[in-house]
């Protein structure tokens, strides 16, 4: 990690005894209150530090130098009473895109929301509420919307864009959320699938940037940054796209 040691960060947090139970905040939380991470004074990373650390971790992973940090019993036991992830990753459910692995992070480092097609707009309150919780209650400074090459959900949106058909079960609704974005870039030069994957990530980023009453104000106040990225399945590398 740049400029700090992640273990010492977590040790400090543990000493600060921030006991944020999962979703225990709901009933009494004031939306204007500072998140516990700030309120108790322990050190959270800045968005820039977090992003740099994620990209450095991805470089280690892609180059075969992964350190697999914070995965031993002493690590996860030590963090049992604290919850201070450095980033939210909104990623695809695709089995080939596991955030902790490809960013070379450990237990407690990432707040991961995974849904096929890494959709946000139209995904409903469960996805947005999860993200908002991480921002409001955990003081997470960075959100990464992470798409990936060869995404099956985006491929389905392309395949069924003009087809007058209905996909089985809830898959229809899921793919419907991606189709409008695909429609906006269908005539752009270049590879349609790659363009659609990037556009789908960008649409997610834009949705979050406008998401009131928690995410958008946090961005305006400089407490939060939202970026979009794609992951190359073959090379193992993450590239920023938005």
| Interface ranges with Zn ion (CB under 5 A) | 92, 94, 151
* SS3 track for 201-229: HHHHHHHHHCCCCCHHHHHHCCCCEEEEE
| Nearest-approach distance from CB 167 to Zn ion, in angstroms | 15
Nearer to Zn ion, 102 or 135 (CB): 102
| Nearest-approach distance from CB 153 to Zn ion, in angstroms | 5
Nearer to Zn ion, 90 or 215 (CB): 90
Which of 37, 120, 33 has its CA nearest to residue 83?
37
| Nearest-approach distance from CB 205 to Zn ion, in angstroms | 16
| Nearest-approach distance from CB 173 to Zn ion, in angstroms | 16
Nearer to Zn ion, 50 or 207 (CB): 207
Strands 110-114 and 87-91: parallel
Count of alpha carbons within 13 Å of 58, Cβ hemisphere only? 21
Nearer to Zn ion, 151 or 226 (CB): 151
């Amino acid at each position: 990690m740049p400029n700090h040691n992640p273990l010492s960060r977590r040790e400090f947090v543990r000493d600060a005894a921030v006991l944020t139970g999962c979703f225990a905040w709901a009933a009494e939380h004031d939306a204007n209150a500072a998140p516990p991470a700030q309120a108790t004074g322990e050190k959270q990373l800045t968005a820039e530090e977090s992003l740099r650390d994620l990209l450095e971790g991805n470089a280690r992973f892609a180059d075969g130098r992964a350190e697999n940090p914070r995965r031993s019993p002493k690590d996860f036991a030590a963090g049992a009473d604290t919850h201070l992830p450095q980033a939210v990753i909104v990623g695809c459910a695709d089995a080939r895109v596991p955030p902790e692995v490809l960013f070379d992070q450990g237990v407690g480092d990432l707040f991961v929301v995974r849904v096929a097609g890494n959709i946000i707009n139209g995904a409903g309150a469960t996805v947005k509420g999860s993200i908002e919780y991480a921002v409001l209650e955990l003081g997470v400074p960075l959100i990464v919307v992470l798409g990936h090459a060869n995404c099956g959900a985006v491929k389905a949106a392309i395949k069924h864009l003009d087809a007058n058909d209905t996909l089985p079960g809830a898959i229809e609704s899921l793919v419907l959320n991606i189709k409008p974005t695909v429609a906006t870039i269908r005539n752009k030069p270049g590879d349609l699938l790659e363009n659609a994957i990037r556009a789908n990530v960008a649409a997610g980023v834009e949705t979050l940037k406008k998401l009131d009453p928690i995410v958008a104000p946090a961005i305006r106040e400089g407490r939060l940054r939202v970026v979009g990225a794609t992951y190359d399945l073959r090379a193992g590398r993450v590239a920023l796209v938005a």
